[in-house]
Amino acid sequence: MDPALLVEWLVKSGVIIFLILTGFAYLTLFERRVLARIQVRIGPNRAGPLGLLQPLADGIKLLFKEEVIPDKADKVIFILAPVLTVIPAFVLLAVIPLGPEISILGRSYSLSLAGDVNVGVLYLLAVASISVYGIVLAGWSSNNKYALLGGLRSAAQMISYELVLGLAFIGPILLANSMSLKDIIQAQSRVWFIVLQPIGFLLFLVASIAEVNRAPFDMPEAEQELTAGYHVEYSGMKFALFFMAEYGKMIVVSFITASLFLGGYLGPFVDKLPLLGPIYLLVKVTLILFFMIWVRATWPRIRYDRLMALGWKVLLPIGLLNIIITAILVILVGGY
């Protein structure tokens, strides 16, 4: 194996982890500031200019907190659960191209860790499912009723919406003829898939918000009835890991949405100036994240049974129908 290749991988992995970590930190600040503005408040602005050091202060505070492990908890699982939840959030980004190929010193680098994987979408689906384990195990091992209920709720919710998510993935695959995210993005060079797959996009948006347990689908953490759901017994850095997983997944899901439906890194002049690619992508991701925060600030929570009914009785049939119609159109029209 080429050692240069290993170095490249290490650097790229480091960049991805850095991206998720800082993204997580500043997404919390971004969310708090945006929420505050929407709610006629100011939000955190004391730590550093514009409150920019707030995430750091929060991190340091959590670092010095006591980590309580309940006496009757299943200790090994209890400690492993947050790790199991957070790893998928880091790993998912591997197959997403952050920009077109760029060449430095005569060598061309692709701006993704494993963007060439030909089953990129399958990889996303598979890895995203893993975090359900973390949440269920956290709920189970805490030996706490709220946590148990929260864990169960989220398990049922996440797997239900995973179906919808999977169905929404199929539209772009049909159009791009490939499961590689690189090909899917390239296929959108003429027209973004949000135009060709509007229903698929909406399905994906709803399902992905449900998948990352954000309002109005934040059932597992329903503060009002289950106090905090599956992570009620977690404190200190273990709690931070759950938090990181949630926000990390939010970021990743936004990246996926942008790549599947909004043309990923594509935009004007990208072929001439490849470094514009990541910037376009970040702008799109920020817009999607803003939308998620906006939704959280606006809507009450949907009740659990209605949430499940929505997933199974409305979104799932629509998803199937969408695939069938897309497939027929693809066959009839051929290319687009």
Partner 1 sequence: MTENVEVPKELDATIQSMDNRFHDIVTLDDRKSYTGYLVPVENLIDFATSIRDDLGYDYLSSVTGVDYFPEEKMEVVYHAYKTSGGGALVFKVQIPREKPEVPSLISVFPGSDFQEREAWDLLGIRFSGHPNLTRILMWEGFEGHPLRKDWKEPFFEEEKKPYKNRWPEGGVYRIEDEVPMGKNVKYPLGFDPQKWTPEEQTTFKEDMDSEAGDNGSNGSAMHTDQIVVNLGPQHPSTHGVFRMVARLDGETVVDLYPEMGYLHRNHEKIGERNTYIMNMPYTDRLDYISSMSNNLGYALAVESLMGIKPPERTEYIRVMMVELTRIVSHLWSIGFLLNDLGAFFTPALYAINERELILDIFEATAGSRMMCNYLRFGGISRDLPDGILETVRELVNERLPRKIDELDTYLTENEILRSRCIGVGVLSKEDAIAYSAAGPVLRASGVSYDVRRADPYSIYERFEFDVVVRYNGDVYDRYLVRMEEIRQSLRILHQVVRDIPEGEIQTGKALYQVRVPAGEAYGRVENPKGELGFYVVSNGKPNPWRYHIRAPSFINLTALGKMCKGEKVADVVAILGSIDIVLGETDR
Partner 2 sequence: MPEDFLPIAVLIILATGLSFTILLLGQIFGPRRPNPRKGSPYESGMRPYGKGQRRVPIHYYLIAVLFILFDVEIIFILPWAVVLRDLGIFGLIEMGLFVAILLIGFVYAWKKGALEWD
Residues of this chain that interact with partner 1 (CB under 8 A) are 35, 38-41, 145-146, 148-149, 215-216, 218, 222-225, 227, 296-306
Place of tokens 């969310």: 31
Which residues are CB-neighbours of 285 under 8 A, at least 6 positions away?
251, 254, 255, 258
- Cα separation, 58 vs 61, whole angstroms: 5
Output the 3-class SS for 90-104: HHHHHHCCCCCCEEE
Instruction: Provide, rounded to whole angstroms, the least separation between the CB of residue 118 and partner 1.
Output: 41
Which one among 131, 142, 208, 254 touches partner 2, defined by CB under 8 A?
142
Give the shortest CB-145-to-partner 1 separation in angstroms.
5
- What is the CB-side half-sphere exposure of residue 149 using CA atoms within 13 A? 13
Q: Which string of DSSP letters, residue by residue, matches 43-58?
A: ----SSGGGTTHHHHH
**130 in contact with partner 2 (CB under 8 A):** no
Of 19, 137, 174, 181, the one binding partner 2 by CB under 8 A: 174
Q: From the list partner 1, partner 2, none, which binds 276 (C-beta under 5 to 8 Å, kind-based)?
A: none
Interface with partner 2, residue 2, by CB under 8 A: no
Q: Decide: 41 and 71 in contact? Cβ < 8 Å.
A: no
Nearer to partner 2, 290 or 304 (CB): 304
Task: Compare residues 66 and 103 and give the one whose CB is closer to partner 2.
Answer: 66
297 binds, among partner 2, partner 1, none (CB under 5 to 8 A by kind): partner 1
Binding mask 83-122 for partner 2 (x = CB under 8 A): x--xx--xx--xx-----------------xx-xxx--xx
> Is the Cβ–Cβ distance between 256 and 98 less than 8 Å?
no
Choosing among partner 1, partner 2, none, which partner's interface includes residue 35 (Cβ < 5 to 8 Å by kind)? partner 1
Which of partner 2, partner 1, none binds 2 (CB below 5-8 Å, type-dependent)?
none
Cβ 114 to partner 2, closest distance in Å? 5
At closest approach, how far in Å is the CB of 156 from partner 2?
5
Query: How far is it, in rounded angstroms, from Cα 242 to Cα 38?
Result: 26
Q: Does 144 bind partner 2 (CB under 8 A)?
A: yes
Is residue 335 helix, strand or coil?
A: coil
Return the range that interacts with partner 2 (CB under 8 A); candidates 9-17, 44-52, 264-272, 276-284. Answer: 9-17
Check if the beta carbon of residue 88 is closer than 8 Å to that of residue 123: no
Assigned token pair, 76: 């090994």
- Choose one: 49-57, 186-194, 201-209, 226-234; the region binding partner 2 (CB under 8 A): 226-234
Q: How far is CA 151 from CA 56, 124, 154, in A?
A: 29, 22, 5
CB 69 within 8 A of CB 81: no
